[in-house]
Structure 1
């Protein structure tokens, strides 16, 4: 049996409320192998984005463990979690999160340069596959929403992460553009043998993933 790249075990998370802690995740467990795709679905408030943020080291769990390979994410310091996001995990956000003062080319190369893994040939190939070669000298504000999300995908994959986390990656796009962007994301993730965990409300997007996990009130339904 293949050893999972990602193993989430009995994760719990609560946030402060006026009457005490409000539970968001209540003992969630899941796993994901390298090169595989997983959709995380559920209603608003079910804990999907919270779980994604915990896996990516953007927040800290109250209990349970998250393993990425041999690394226990849940025991890392702030510095260790930052290094994890720099070197092994990349996030595609709904809001793109591009750096407005950098060109498209610089945005795509940004994370790879930080991690010391910048490969100009791979970056050029990514730009071509994403249809961004004519736009490399432009700035994010000069691009459409679909083009900006392609830049975000390029930035994510330029560093060749082991795990790609996507939080509603087509949520700000029209249906046709979202479908095209998802096609490219799936093709390029497969090419790099990365694992993809995708948080989504979209039935059609979830159907494109190999597996689906549904969260309901902080538990696996």
Structure 2
């Protein structure tokens, strides 16, 4: 069996992550530039480490020759948003794009996992332009609210400590926390328009204050030169 050249193998995955982060952040910038609420708040991404890939190959019985199609999260992106409604708007945006193709979706927002985990998972096929030609890369995107992400981060840390075998007390508390987190998202959705109006007002006020301060400093600079 030929040993995998991991640097060469992972290079197009790194390129896919870099390009998609730029494109998704540009979407956010476009909404903001147009004075609209952006469904995208934060975008982060990573390529799985070689050790993580090998561990998952062993755990899921994935052969090396099927690695590219059977392991969908070698390249992973996470999009965080403010409201549950933003999640589905982002999904629609991804479906409408012509520079990628949606190949699989799993809605854990509407249908949460037994643990309480909520997120929307979407697997894309993304074409990476290489010197040798086009290579289609699978990329998994997880879309979730800020509250969902907080819960998931804590659960992920605890999972490392307990290796998935949580004590019953911790498990019960995590489930209650997940329910409370989703209740927060639901309450925020009910006053979403009020929140968005307040954010626009706050952003406009900050911009006006900055321009006033800038103008004042320039005026003071002219006065000091004249004196």
State the TM-score, normalized to the length of structure 1. Answer: 0.24
Q: Could you say which structure has the higher helix fraction?
A: 2
Query: Taking CA–CA contacts closer than 8 Å with sequence separation of 6 or more, which of the two structures ends up with the larger relative contact order?
Result: 1
Greater Rg over alpha carbons, structure: 2
Q: Could you say which structure has the higher strand fraction?
A: 1
